[in-house]
Structure 1
Amino acid sequence: METVDGRLRFMGRQVDGYGHLSDRDATLLARCDGSRPLDGFPAADRETIGLWRRHGLLLMAPPFTPGHADTEPPVVVSPHPDDAALALGGTVAGQGARFLDVFSVETWTKDPYYAERPALTRRLLLDEEGVAARVLRARVELLGFVDAADRDLRRDRFFADPAWSDGFAREEPELFDALTARLATLLDGVGQVYAPLGVGGHVDHLACREAVLELARAGGLGAARVAFYEDQPYSLFSSAEETAKKLGARLAEEGLGDLRPELLPVDDTAALTKCEALGAYRIQVRKGIIQRIRRHGVRLAEGSPFPAAERIWLMRS
């Protein structure tokens, strides 16, 4: 949010109904820092907070509950800030996670206001990730690689075809080797690892997938510890099943085994928490996409006792 001459602006536009932000409102906004429950505010303040939430200025988060000390949270290799939450937010809401945001230096957006302000966009995209992770109770580590849209080689062609190929990696060998080496250190000794399946063929997603596969080939990461998640929102427009089938055939030829799908159940509370967390992503993700992701999760769970699900693929020999 911005305040310009006392006027409240969000996403570069003035917020309806706020010609001027009063001192009281400014103080109340500062108090909405996640440190106190909603029922700890007076009724009048709760009404104002509810209005701000409807405008999208605030997000709700579930009460903090300490995790089990003897349970190691999974590690999600996230090509960019937002990919882990978009694909596995419901699962993470139920058990926590550690996000490794790989290509975390990015400025891409379709919003003209932010397209003209790349430095601001770079900072705010990370701020969005921090807010979403706080709602999901995930930890974020930024690896600092540059997004494909900001790399000279990839600026105008950051989707590869076919998505199950590894040929793209040879076009940026130094980058791929550096990424693989970095992940080797960060994933050493961890438990469950989730990596992108690569649906849609975004080269940053494919680079993360292939780096994890390289570690599995070299024995530095046991195949039983690895699962590939369904990239969102790309699977809304491309076939995750086809990508998994073709990639699985390639892996079987390499001796790694093919892929089998598995659904991760998402209960009502986790589904609500995921939707709330995804509300943090405004610069790149539209509200309509979030709703389509939610409906996709509901469709995946049809016939099961759960209201929603998220899909992964496991390697099997």
Structure 2
Amino acid sequence: MTEIPDTWCPITLPHVETVDGRLCFLGHAVDADAALLARCDGGHPLAAFTPAERETLGRWRRLGLLLLAPPTAPADPLAPVVVSPHPDDAALALGGTVARRGGRFLDVFSVETWTKDPYYAARPELTRRLLLAEETVAARVLGARVELLGFVDAADRELRREAFFTDPAWSDGFAREEPELFDAVTARLATALAGAGLVCAPLGVGGHVDHLACREAVLALARGGRLGGARLVFYEDQPYALFSSAEETARKLGARLAEAGLGDLHPELWPVDGTAALTKSEALGAYRIQVRRGIVRRIHRHGTRLADGSRGPAAERVWRLRG
């Protein structure tokens, strides 16, 4: 682990559990020292472990049982507040930025059980708990604070269970289709965003209805002058931006906003330095139930491509609302 400073702290992932007296990870038995794993609680730097223990920790890290978190740093007073449709969306899209500046995640639809993993699909209550635990670990790595708004994910809502994507992604139809839910989300966000200096909302790439709900709720607040003097940007949703055009969504949404008198959308690349890129990589390792490792690698490659010819090894892309 030569690339990691010895001030970073190992954290065992929450998916490590004892089942029938055996230590398991992601539902499979593992041969690991439970006492050493217990010390990996985010409070002990690598320097506190013996060379032999550090070698073991390196092996566990490669296997995915744990990840490493940098020392906590004071948050930037202008750190972003990221409206995250679900736990993981903020880190996937803006983890590098938050690693540099700190921030706050507003996890809107934070009650969820959806997964394609058979082990966890058969255990919805465990899945619900672990999805939140994943977010807690990732936020610790990134230096973010998390606020759970407690709304139910589309996959667990009767109206949306079989169809939680909509087309086109720049539509504002969600407010009409689930009006009571939309009003409740908007009201909660109004309170949570009070006093924010920089608000980052999902662009809605891919058309997931929960992402559109968050975007439209933030836009409703902007139209009503309820964001105060906050600067508003829209981030490209990951991993959906790997498969759908963020540029098209921004162009069509921008035209709609300009017609409504809100202004247009202007793209910006936010540079991610080497330490922030490493920190984001560690943080995304926390998401194991819904996010596949191949998707994480593709997100990293996407960030590298965005940064081509720029100031850092990676970048994250947003669109700023210019009123």
Query: Contact (CA 8 Å) 2:93, 2:235: kept in 1 or not?
Result: yes
TM-score (ref. length: structure 1): 0.95
> Can you list the C-alpha shifts for 1:59-110, whole angstroms capped at 9, x where unaligned?
1011223335xx2421000000000000000000000000000000000000
Query: Contact (CA 8 Å) 1:83, 1:232: kept in 2 or not?
Result: yes
Moved more, 188-197 or 240-249: 188-197
SS of 2:66's partner is coil
Map 1:83-232 to 2 at 5 A. Answer: 83-222=89-228, 225-232=231-238
| d(CA) in 1 for partners of 2:242, 2:175 | 25
| Correspondent of 1:283 among 273, 279, 289 | 289
> Can you list the C-alpha shifts for 1:119-141, whole angstroms capped at 9, x where unaligned?
00000000000000000010000
What is the letter of the counterpart of residue 244 of structure 1? A
> Can you list the C-alpha shifts for 1:205-241, whole angstroms capped at 9, x where unaligned?
0000000000000011157611000100000000000
| d(CA) in 1 for partners of 2:223, 2:229 | 9
Query: Contact (CA 8 Å) 1:166, 1:210: kept in 2 or not?
Result: yes
What is the letter of the counterpart of residue 127 of structure 2? T
Say yes or no: does 1:310 pair with 2:306: no
Report deviation, 1:196: 0.2
Which residue number in structure 1 is paired with residue 11 of structure 2?
Answer: none
**Which segments of 5 or more consecutive residues in structure 1 lack a partner in the other structure?**
none
What is the letter of the counterpart of residue 248 of structure 2? E
Which residue number in structure 1 is paired with residue 254 of structure 2?
Answer: 248
Which residue number in structure 1 is paired with residue 75 of structure 2?
Answer: 67
Distance 1:250 1:186, change over 3 A: same
What is the letter of the counterpart of residue 167 of structure 1? G
Which residue number in structure 2 is paired with residue 57 of structure 1?
Answer: 65
| d(CA) in 2 for partners of 1:187, 1:103 | 16
Query: Contact (CA 8 Å) 1:160, 1:168: kept in 2 or not?
Result: no
Which residue number in structure 2 is paired with residue 82 of structure 1?
Answer: 88
| Correspondent of 1:30 among 10, 34, 38 | 38
Report deviation, 1:315: 1.1
Moved more, 114-123 or 36-45: 36-45
| Correspondent of 1:4 among 9, 19, 22 | 19
SS of 2:23's partner is strand
Report deviation, 1:269: 0.6
TM-score (ref. length: structure 2): 0.93
> Can you list the C-alpha shifts for 1:260-286, whole angstroms capped at 9, x where unaligned?
100000001100100110000000000
Aligned length: 308
CA RMSD of aligned residues (A): 1.2
Report deviation, 1:8: 2.4
Distance 1:164 1:38, change over 3 A: same
Query: Contact (CA 8 Å) 1:169, 1:176: kept in 2 or not?
Result: yes
State the identity as a percent: 78
Which residue number in structure 1 is paired with residue 53 of structure 2?
Answer: 45
Report deviation, 1:44: 1.6
| d(CA) in 1 for partners of 2:130, 2:19 | 18
What is the letter of the counterpart of residue 264 of structure 1? W
